[in-house]
Structure 1
Amino acid sequence: MKSYLKFAFVIVLALTFVNCGDKKPKEDFGISSEENSTTEATSEENTLNSLVKEGKTIFEGKGTCTACHKPDAKIIGPSLADISKIYKEQNASIVAFLKEEGKPIVDPSQYEVMKANFAITKSMSDEELKALETYILSF
């Protein structure tokens, strides 16, 4: 009987040590915080990709932007790469500019040419303008 109690004690002790190992706490119905962070990052990336895709559609279609702007070459207006670089450096809002609430900062000499397009951009929803901005800033 004594040996049986010793054996049971050793088993209980072993199980206690095994269960006290370094386990990461689970959250959100069994998804660890690392998995949850990855899921959130993927969700944000999908949202960003969706905005870029929508912005590209607007840029090439409804916005008629391709008539004056190309991704990496100046035509009538500056390239998207130049616009993106300057707006990022100055932490400025393309949406504000397209609503005629912001100053021209990339190529002010072309502002008069751009003014004709404000009728188009002002008719766009805030969501469309944000998508257009996201697309331009992706360069």
Structure 2
Amino acid sequence: MKTILKPLTLLVALFIVSCGGDKKTDKFGNPVSDEKENVEAVKPEVSEFPLAEKGKEIFEGKGTCATCHKLDIKLVGPSIQDIAEIYKEKNANMITFLKGEGKPIVDPTQYEVMKANFALTKTFSDEELESLEQYIYSQEK
């Protein structure tokens, strides 16, 4: 009985392995599928505001902007969201304003308070000013 059982077990094992279908392999023995894999190229997410994180650091630190501006409420100055909305609506140049070369368009009543900060913002590089601008626009409602 043992002599029949061994060949029978071997035959069943071969049957199970071979029933997997006609699997194709490449010249290196790797399985090849006829189905095209649904693999999308992984693209890095390109942010509309690549400098926003740097702008946030400046806003909360070196720029001292967070002292007077909050995200969605008016403190001393208008909220970040209001600034972004109004500059976008009016297609105005925020960097020109931060350089002290533009008229106040968001809350002209607070212009004198903001004017004191131009001594600081005028020392910022163009990249720093652009970072601040991107951060503010990234916070738009």
Q: TM-score, normalised by structure 1?
A: 0.67
Tell me if 1:105 matches 2:72: no
2:135 alignment counterpart: 135
Alpha-carbon contact 2:69-2:75 (below 8 Å) kept? yes
Alignment of 1:1-139 (within 5 A): 39=43, 42=44, 44-45=46-47, 48-49=49-50, 51-139=51-139
Q: Distance in 2 between matches of 1:137 and 1:104?
A: 17
Alpha-carbon contact 2:73-2:79 (below 8 Å) kept? yes
Runs of 4+ off more than 2 Å: none
Deviation at 1:43, TM superposition (A): 5.9
Deviation at 1:93, TM superposition (A): 1.1
After superposition, the CA RMSD in angstroms is 1.7
Identity %: 61
Structure 1: gaps spanning 5 or more residues: 1-33
Deviation at 1:100, TM superposition (A): 1.1
Deviation at 1:136, TM superposition (A): 0.5
More helix by share: 1
Structure 2: gaps spanning 5 or more residues: 1-39
Q: Deviations 1:69-120 (Å, cap 9, x if unpaired)?
A: 0000100000000000000001111101000111100000100000110011
Greater C-alpha Rg = 2
Number of residues of Structure 1 aligned to a counterpart in Structure 2: 100
